[in-house]
Structure 1
Amino acid sequence: MSTPLPQAPAQFWEERYRSSERLWSGDPNPLLVREVDALEPGTALDLGCGEGSDVLWLASRGWQATGVDISSTALERAAAHAAKAGLAERTVFERHELGLSFPEGSFDLVSAQFLQSPVALDQDGVLARAAQAVAPGGTLLIVMHAGWPTWMAKDEYPFDAEFPTLQGVLDGLALPPAWRVETLETVERSLTSPDGRTGTRGDHVWRLTRTA
Structure 2
Amino acid sequence: MDAEEWNSRYRASELVWSAGPNQFVEAELSELTPGRALDLAAGEGRNAIWLAQRGWQVTAVDFAQAGLDKGAVLGEGLDIDWVCADATTWRGDPAGQAYDACVVAYLQLPAAERRAAARNGFSSLRVGGTLVWVAHDLTNLTEGVGGPPDASRLMTAEDVLADLGGETFEVVRAGRVAREVGGADDAQPARTAWDCLVRVVRRG
TM > 0.5 between the two? Answer: yes
CA drift of 1:149 comes to 7.3
User: Is the 8 Å Cα contact of residues 98 and 121 (structure 1) preserved in structure 2?
Assistant: no
Asked whether the 8 Å contact 1:139–1:209 carries over to 2, the reply is yes
Q: In the alignment, which residue of structure 1 is the partner of 2:92?
A: 103
Runs of 4+ in 1 over 6 A off after TM superposition: none
Distance 1:159 1:202 in 2: 13
Aligned position for 1:91: 80
How big is the shift at 1:12?
Answer: 1.3
The TM-score normalised by the length of structure 1 is 0.83
Between the aligned partners of 1:149 and 1:165, the Cα distance in structure 2 is 14
Where does structure 2 lack aligned partners over 5 or more consecutive residues?
Answer: none
User: 1:148-175, CA deviations, whole angstroms, 9 ceiling, x for partnerless residues?
Assistant: 37465xxx98642332122222122104
Contact 2:141 2:149 in 1 (8 A): no
**Amino acid in the other structure paired with 2:90:** S
How far is 1:37 from its partner? 0.6
- 5+ residue gaps in structure 1? 1-6
SS at match of 2:15: coil
Structure having the higher Rg: 1
Q: Answer yes or no: is 1:128 the counterpart of 2:93.
A: no
Q: How does 1:61-100 map to 2 (within 5 A)?
A: 61-83=54-76, 86-87=77-78, 90-100=79-89
CA RMSD of aligned residues (A): 2.5
Distance 2:156 2:81 in 1: 32
Distance 1:209 1:34 in 2: 16
Q: 1:170 aligns with which of 161, 166, 170?
A: 161
Specify whether residues 43 and 157 from structure 1 end up closer, same or farther in structure 2 by C-alpha distance, changes over 3 A only. Answer: closer
User: What residue is the counterpart of 2:107 in the other structure?
Assistant: 115
Identity of aligned residues (%): 31
TM norm structure 2 = 0.86
In the alignment, is the contact (CA less than 8 A) between 1:107 and 1:138 conserved in 2? yes
Q: With CA pairs under 8 Å and 6+ residues apart, which has the higher RCO, 1 or 2?
A: 1
